[in-house]
Structure 1
């Protein structure tokens, strides 16, 4: 009987988490934050191109980018960018600047803006799903 209660309890927790978790479609950044990110985007365009569509580095917009990150978390993307970019000086920006750049990337990919800024720490960002298609 104990096993049944544990299984039911775990299933309830999983369903609750799935229902309460947010995605990039829930307005997880602000327009102001994306604007600040655009101001710093020159570091990215050197490798990712003027419109972030790639060349020579991988794209940060469009179907290839969206497909690569679909199902992962915003925290995963934030940490990858923070730890590896810019290519010639990884980690050179502040956490806030990386969050602003990520907001700009979301804006370019047509994810809606909201009223709360994207966090600049990985843990809260890991609660946000990167979902390529609008639900």
Structure 2
């Protein structure tokens, strides 16, 4: 029946969802690792900017404030982007952690629905698709 086909399709979908969730979790882990690397790079940029500032301060005849200010602006923007990405990771992880529970709940519901269909077949009750 259409209902049996539906429960079968639902099971297939649940298996695919579980696999995709694993891939998403791996992606979230990679994202967290990437953010860590970005922060390390950002610290190196900060050290470079400090050296640049020191050179500007120690050599009044060489004034390249425009380049320095542009570099600082880029650095500030980069840190803002890193922080924005980093701030999304906890919520992403929470959502990903909830998926397996939902899969289990839906699988349980699906099994109960299939059991009802099987019992109805045993009793000779057959629903046809409209």
Q: Please confirm whether the aligned pair reaches a TM-score higher than 0.5, indicating the same fold.
A: no
Say which one has the larger Rg: 2
Structure with bigger RCO (C-alpha 8 Å, 6+ apart):
2
Kindly indicate which of the two structures has a greater share of residues assigned to helix: 2
Under a length normalisation based on structure 1, what TM-score does the superposition of the two structures give?
0.29
